[in-house]
Amino acid sequence: MVSAPPKTSVPPRSQVSDAHKWNKESVFASREAWAAELKAVNAALPELAPFQGTLSQSAARLADWFEKVEKIVRRASNLFFYAAMSQAVETTDQDAISMRGQAGALLSQLGAAASFSTPEMLSIGESVIKGWVKAEPRLAIYEHYFHDLFRQQQHVRSGEVEEVLALAAEPFGAVDNTEEMLTSADMKFAPVKTADGEEIPLAQSNISTFLDSADRDVRRQAWENYADGYFGLKNTLASNYLASVKRDVFYARARRYSSALEASLFQNNIQAEVFHNLIDTYKKNIPTWHKYWAVRRRALGVNVLNPYDIWAPLTSESPEVSYQQAVDWICDGMKPLGETYVSALRKGCLEDRWVDIYPNEGKTQGAFSFGTYDTYPFIMMSFDNNLGAMSTLAHELGHSMHSYFSRKTQPFVYGDYTLFVAEVASNFNQAMVRANLFKTNSDPNFQIAVIEEAMNNLHRYFFIMPTLARFELEVHTRVERGDGVTADDLISLMVDLFSEGYGSEMHIDRERVGITWAQFGHLYNNYYVYQYATGISAAHALAGRILEGTAGAAENYVKFLSTGSSLYPVDALKLAGVDMSTPEAVERTFAVLADYVDRLDKLTQ
């Protein structure tokens, strides 16, 4: 096995071994093959036009439409995925940037070409459609699809308006791409200087490595320099983010929702109580976080905690974790789900090259799982040989295995899943792996390291994300009222919310804490961030059922993974064993958090 690159190095993409890169050849043999397919799919778009105005002719005609549009959508999706993934792993790749633009334009044209279909199907009427579903075998699988279609009927506009909304997707999408280009390709950070005077470049792909450092000055420099990179562009970033908020409000109003929040929740049939239960339960349990900051401050031996101390190691003996070791530990933790699950995961990581593993110059920040119905469920990350990287890999593999089972089990129409359930599978994997590590290694330093990893994850999902959700709600509300919002307004709001969560234990650097909103591209997805917190809540509730030995819990969980979007998300989670319409799962996860804090307090005395 080829050893990993040094933790602080950021090599050019050309120096990364192909064995550590995603298996792009499994999607397209070459960029020339991609270009040929782009040309072919563009040429196929006119094949959709003859269906316009004819869907009401018969059940057979409607079934023919679904077959035709599915083939083209699948091909276009592969084109976009290949281009977007190529850009993500090297955001300075000009060819990839061009390819993504071309693929995005194709998807916009496809959306416009198919936009007539929804209004036409609605005009046929629900009772007629139900009869066709029973009469035409090819339509049988669309029963849930049609139920959801007519549920949303009040928010579907005329064919002409739907075409305009589809065409607007491409220019509106530039807002997201601008954020990625600005923060991953163009933004520069001051380097970090080590104790021996060496200057090491700071980049999106290695910021977490610096923040994990035992050297407090290294952490301080990294956190400050990273925040300063964003703060220096605060007005541009604010303008771009507010454009995305206005996009959310535009779409909500165009589809006659009362707010962007209602538009987001209604789309996935989520009750408003789910969002507000999370926010209310988080606010009620903020003292648990205050206790954690106090424990961390004492364990680090500092008079005042700073934000850059949040990730500081509390033991000098944190384990070095190779990629191979990480895969082994993840597989061990997931054994309760059965051999089918574990063998597919291992093969994907070690043979089929699902994972683009290590950092390189221009690689976009963070990690994600991405693919299509016809590709592997790929992962992009920057593995840096520690427990945090292992946990990130486990998290993304949760997404990938969710995709694997959904696409293996469901037809194309249900082969994906909603954002609401996406973060359940990812956090579930982390909870299961963590529990196994606690059980199999009793060394106090190892236990501390595992708790630290858990707290880092909970900090992101159960502290930052609810805080960003509160921020997002307030910003959208101000825009919907017609208030003017500036970069300084965003910074002030962010500081106030974080100050509430930090309490008296944390020193607040107002400008650098206040720019945190700009560091999360997740905010460009309308009301996405709260779903990280509901996801981790459901995940811990479901993992707890399996770890406690609840009969059928593991089998029901795999059934949940296999539902795709064939059920509404709250119903799919009920199948797995958790009801997100109540605050119970959120409360249960705060109990897990409190237990970690108590254990850490004892271990670090």
Chunked in runs of 10, what are the mean pLDDT values of the chain (605 residues)?
47 95 98 98 98 98 98 98 97 96 95 94 96 98 97 91 90 92 93 93 88 94 98 98 98 97 95 95 97 97 96 89 97 97 98 97 91 98 92 97 98 94 95 96 94 94 97 98 97 98 96 98 95 96 96 97 97 96 95 97 94
**Per-residue pLDDT, 317:** 83
Phi, psi dihedral angles at 443 (to 5 degrees): -55, 125
Helix or strand or coil: residue 411? coil
- Per DSSP bridges, beta strands 192-193 and 199-200 are antiparallel
DSSP secondary structure string for all residues of 53-113 = TTTTS-HHHHHHHHHHHHHHHHHHHHHHHHHHHHHHH-TT-HHHHHHHHHHHHHHHHHHHH
| CB contact set of 363 (below 8 Å; sequence gap of 6+) | 13, 88, 89, 90, 91, 184, 203, 204, 205, 380, 382
Residues marked active site are found at: 396
Share in percent of the chain as helix, strand, coil (round to 5): 70, 0, 25
| CB contact set of 14 (below 8 Å; sequence gap of 6+) | none
Cα–Cα distance, 456 to 463 (Å, whole number):
10
**Per-residue pLDDT, 466:** 97
| CB contact set of 102 (below 8 Å; sequence gap of 6+) | 38, 83
Cα–Cα distance, 481 to 173 (Å, whole number):
24
| CB contact set of 181 (below 8 Å; sequence gap of 6+) | 91, 97
Question: Identity (one letter) of the amino acid at 390?
Answer: M
Q: What is the maximum span of the chain, computed from C-alpha positions, in angstroms?
A: 77
In 454-511, the DSSP E strands lie at none
| CB contact set of 161 (below 8 Å; sequence gap of 6+) | 254
Cα–Cα distance, 35 to 51 (Å, whole number):
27
Nearest to 308 by CA among 222, 430, 238, 234: 222
Cα–Cα distance, 10 to 442 (Å, whole number):
35
Cα–Cα distance, 76 to 412 (Å, whole number):
14
Phi, psi dihedral angles at 388 (to 5 degrees): -60, -40
DSSP 8-state class, residue 301: T
Contact yes or no for 206/359 (Cβ under 8 A): yes
Q: How far is CA 503 from the centre of its chain?
A: 28
**Per-residue pLDDT, 316:** 82
User: What is the radius of gyration, based on Cα positions, of the chain?
Assistant: 24
pTM of the full structure:
0.86
**Per-residue pLDDT, 9:** 62
Bridge partners of 370, per DSSP, are 378
Phi, psi dihedral angles at 199 (to 5 degrees): -100, 125
> What counts of helices (H) and strands (E) characterise the chain?
25, 5
What dihedral do alpha carbons 246, 251, 257, 262 form, nearest 10°?
Answer: -70
Phi, psi dihedral angles at 23 (to 5 degrees): -80, 70
Q: Which domains does the chain have, with CATH numbers?
A: 13-177 (1.20.140.70), 190-264+284-314+474-521 (no CATH)
CB neighbours of residue 221 within 10 Å: 22
Cα–Cα distance, 508 to 332 (Å, whole number):
41
Cα–Cα distance, 111 to 99 (Å, whole number):
18
Nearest-5° Cα angle at 100, 114 to 15: 150
Query: Exposure pattern of 483-499 as b/e (b: 16+ CB <10 Å)?
Result: eebebebbbebbbebbe
Helix or strand or coil: residue 193? strand
DSSP 8-state class, residue 12: -
Question: Identity (one letter) of the amino acid at 211?
Answer: L
DSSP 8-state class, residue 378: E
**Per-residue pLDDT, 433:** 98
Cα–Cα distance, 231 to 41 (Å, whole number):
42
State both tokens at 524: 């460009």
Nearest to 112 by CA among 163, 42, 169: 163
Contact yes or no for 453/431 (Cβ under 8 A): no
Phi, psi dihedral angles at 309 (to 5 degrees): -90, -5
**Per-residue pLDDT, 243:** 98
Helix or strand or coil: residue 200? strand
Question: Identity (one letter) of the amino acid at 54?
Answer: T
